Structure formats: C-alpha cells, structure tokens
Amino acid sequence: MCSSDLACIMDGNGRWAEQRALPRTAGHTAGEENLAEVVRACVARGVGWLTVFGFSTENWVRPRAEVRHILGLHERLFGRLEELNENNVRVRWIGRPFDGPEARTPKYVQRAIRRAINDTSSNTGMTLTVAFDYGGRAELMSAVRALRADTGTVDADRLAAHLYDPELPDVDVLVRTSGEMRVSNFLLWQSAGAAIHFTDAAWPDFDAEDLDRALDLVR
C-alpha cells in the first residue's frame, strides 16, 4: 500500500487502434475502459489522488467525429457512479470554468461532471480528478489574473490558492504512456517536483505492472 499522488497523461489511444486496423474511436473506447481498470488498481494500492488528462484545450482541433466520441466517453466515465461509490472514490474535475469566455465543454458533459462530483462527494477513499478542457498554461494564467484582481500581489502560496482546484496536491509520480517523452502542458505547477515514468505501452495496454513500476519510483 502507498499514499502517493499519481498523474497520468493517457496517450496512444489512436495509435493503439491504428496498429490493429481499427478506427481511432475504438482506441478511445479501449482507453476509457482501461481507465476504469487503472482506477481499481490504484484504489487497491492505496493511491491518494489520481489525476488524469482527459481532454486538453488543444484537443478541440481534432476531427469533429472524434471529438464527439471522446465527449461521449467522458459522459460515460463520469456516469460510472455505482462503481465509483463501491470503490469509495471521490470525483473532482479541473479545467476552464464552464461559465468562462473560452469554455467549450458541452452542457451534457457539464451535467455529468456536476452529478459525479455531487454523488461521490462523501466518499473518503481515493480522489479521481479528471482534467477536461484543461491546459497548464491556461490554469496558471487564470490563477495570475484572479490573484492580481484579488490582491495585486503575486507570490507562490497565493497563486496556488487560485489554481483550478487548490486542494489538488503536488504530484509524486507523473506517468506518460505510448513512448512520448514530454509533459504536454499538464499540471505544470503541481508536477514541478514529480518523478516521471515514461512507458512505451499505449494507454489501453497500461496495466498493473506498469502502475507498480511507476509507483516504485517513490516507494
């Protein structure tokens, strides 16, 4: 068991599908299903917080049909309430505010997010935070604007208090799948001191053994 805080850049769904002569949407479906497996594995290992990069601010430029499919998968992910409650998992979300001028999250996904947060709020186990319509630079710029409007003074503690979720702890281990070696604008503030685990496994193939290798970096 551990109490480490983990973050995952879930990369490689599309390439996983293409290698199997499947449509890219099939890879995203497999990725969502594997996330449910990873959540269960993290719960079993006592992970405190699991934060996953679901959809970035840059992902809106993907083909419309692919974006619609990913949005539907997030609605399904946030709808796994029975399983989340059975595992005592609390759901959180970070991303551009729904009422902000640049927000693009559809209403039906907003409703699913709000319901998941509300219906799991009393759970006391692992916290699953989904970053949706999220970018690390956008988060920092939002925090700086709010801070300057609030006090006019910028320091680290005050800035951290204005991040999308001030309760989100610093990341102990950042995982990037599919052989890519970059952080892709994810949790730039929270991952400043994180150990980084790069793996060649595409996200749909990321399993408990990969998870253990990542957690071994901080055990």
Instruction: Give the catalytic positions in this structure.
Output: 11, 59
How far is it, in rounded angstroms, from Cα 4 to Cα 52?
Answer: 15
104-109: long-range contacts, CB 8 A cutoff, minimum separation 24: 104/60, 104/133, 105/132, 105/133, 106/71, 108/71, 108/75, 109/71, 109/74, 109/75, 109/78
The answer to whether 126 and 43 have CB atoms below 8 angstroms apart is: yes
Q: What are phi and psi of 175, to 5 degrees?
A: -105, 135
Element (H, E) at 2: none
